[in-house]
Amino acid sequence: MSIIHLSIWDLGLCALLVCSLAWINWRQAPDLSSGILIGVARLTIQLSLIGMALKFLFAQASLPWVLIVSLFMAAMAGREVGARQELRFADGWTFHIGLLAMTASSYSMILIVLLALIQPAPWYQPQYAIPLLGMILGNTLNGVSLCLDRLTAGARNQKDLIEGRLMLGAPAEEAIQDQRRQAMHAGMTPAINGMATAGVVSLPGMMTGQILAGSPPETAVAYQIMIFLMIVAATGFGTWIANRLAIWRLFDERHRLRLDRLTLK
């Protein structure tokens, strides 16, 4: 099956439709319209640059280059976690917590995929390593950012309840257990919903891309199931790590709630 290529005019038509939407909303919601236009510009520039970078990377097939690109992706993901928070930890701790949680979980999952499941030769072959890492890292980013946002907001909004439990002798982990559980639910819900609706409401992106590229449906399905399971595992471990680190940062060694370590966006 031959691949049908899209021209710049095809993409321009799609962009025109989205820009028309921004124009329609300009009077009532200028912030929404500007966000749409900025999003279109960022999407076009970022994907064009990554396309050129991947073309170079695929030609090199070099482990150092794969590591450089993967570390850059992780750093940008950590920055994005901080940007999405209404309440941030002071001294850059939101970035550090997000970066550590995402790299620990996402890198573990991608190594399992490459070394134990797909087993390309070489194992770091960029055609597999970078796209799969991007999917896992992107979904883990959403889970970690939602988890941290819900946890910090819950700690601030239910400060009296948490401190009341602390005064009754409860340790920090027990005092904030309700907020911790809600944060985990918030972080995991998108990944769980994605599994529940796959194949019924929507055809996932990786599966659709492989089918459009000519892969047999059964092969595309197998890859999509694998990536979904890895995404859920990475998101779960990532949100758990972020949850634990955030709670450690919210309390001091005397189990006192330290909301002064949070700053508004």
Same domain, 48 and 179: no
Same domain, 55 and 82: no
Domain boundary pick from 33, 60, 87: 60
Give the tokens for residue 44.
Answer: 């076009």
Same domain, 36 and 99: no
Give pLDDT, residue 111: 93
Q: What is the pLDDT of residues 68-91, one digit of tens each?
A: 989 999 999 999 998 888 889 988
Q: What is the pLDDT of residues 160-172, one digit of tens each?
A: 999 999 999 899 9
Range of the domain at 260: 62-264
Same domain, 7 and 35: yes
Q: What is the pLDDT of residues 203-257, one digit of tens each?
A: 667 777 777 777 788 888 888 888 889 999 999 999 999 999 999 999 988 889 9
Whether cis (ω within 30° of 0) applies to the bond prior to 122 is yes
Contact residues for 32 (Cβ-Cβ < 8 A; gap 6+): 22, 25
Same domain, 168 and 148: yes
CA gyration radius for the chain? 21
Burial class (CB in 10 A: 0-12, 13-18, 19+), 116: exposed
What percent of the chain clears pLDDT 90, i.e. is strictly above it? Answer: 43
Same domain, 116 and 241: yes
pTM score of the predicted model: 0.84
Same domain, 66 and 187: yes
Rounded to 5, what percent of the chain is helix, strand, coil? 80, 5, 15
User: Which pLDDT band, with edges at 50, 70 and 90, does 3 fall under?
Assistant: low
Give pLDDT, residue 1: 54
Compute the mean pLDDT over every residue in the chain, rounded to the nearest whole number. Answer: 88
Number of compact structural domains in the chain = 2
Q: What is the pLDDT of residues 181-194, one digit of tens each?
A: 999 999 999 889 88
Same domain, 56 and 67: no
Same domain, 178 and 257: yes
